[in-house]
Amino acid sequence: MKLREMMKDLCERHWLGEVVAYIYVIEFQKRGLPHAHILLILANKNKIRSIEEYDSFVSAEIPDHELNPLAYETVTTMMMHGPCGVLNALLPCMKDGKCKKHYPKSFQEITQEGPNGYPIYRRRNNGHYVEISNGIQLDNRWVVPYNIKLVEKYNAHINVEICNSLLAIKYLYKYVYKGHDRATVTFSQNINRANNQTTSPNEILDEIKMYLDA
Ligand SMILES: [Zn+2]
């Protein structure tokens, strides 16, 4: 219901500007909840190009508790990454001792154009932090970028990012269309009648057959 309503906000009510095309997939990763990846193409007149526009649509800082209490509530409970790294090396985002999503990000006084077509969002070192369990304090470096209207309305994890390079757009399309997970399962009757035991699991695999079965 939230997803359907949000698609209306985005595509019919034009919360981020007029949408001329969109695609989305719902991904189910076998842990956590299913989630949607959505790509919106905005009309030319609404393309988000300037630093000021980036800031008006996407934030990556802990909201002000007094000014935006709803956003504060959602961001502090649902939009803080991890914590991973030294704080928790066992999170799924960790690979070879590093966070695959590059958290914690660096502090950033003002939003900047990034080298790969993704803006580097403002994350000021303003002393704001959220204290989570075990006294761990997470500051603006841990905030997953969000749109304040969307988090206020939906009270859900909704990561919003702007993408301005062809390379990144190509990657995103590929990513969104990567398809579902697949597994091959075979039922076979291969019982060793002599001692009534199944054969050892490392029976020889027929690679040609596996290839044909895709
Ligand atoms: Zn991480």
Kind plus residue range of the DSSP H or E element containing 26: strand 19-27
* pLDDT per residue as tens digits for the range 172-198: 788 777 766 667 777 777 666 555 555
- Residue 111 CA to ligand 1 center (angstroms) comes to 21
Confidence (pLDDT) at 196: 58
- Residue 114 CA to ligand 1 center (angstroms) comes to 20
- Residue 53 CA to ligand 1 center (angstroms) comes to 27
Residues 6+ apart with CB under 8 A from 81: 93, 99, 101, 103, 104, 142, 143, 144
Confidence (pLDDT) at 194: 59
Residues of the chain short of pLDDT 50, as ranges, are none
* pTM of this structure: 0.79
Angle at 212 between CA 208 and CA 214, to 5 degrees: 115
Q: Where would I find the H helices in 58-165?
A: 69-78, 148-154
**CA dihedral of 113, 103, 69, 149, whole degrees rounded to 10:** 40
- Which residues place a Cβ less than 5 A from the ion ligand 1? 82, 84, 93, 99, 103
Position 105, amino acid:
K
Confidence (pLDDT) at 83: 85
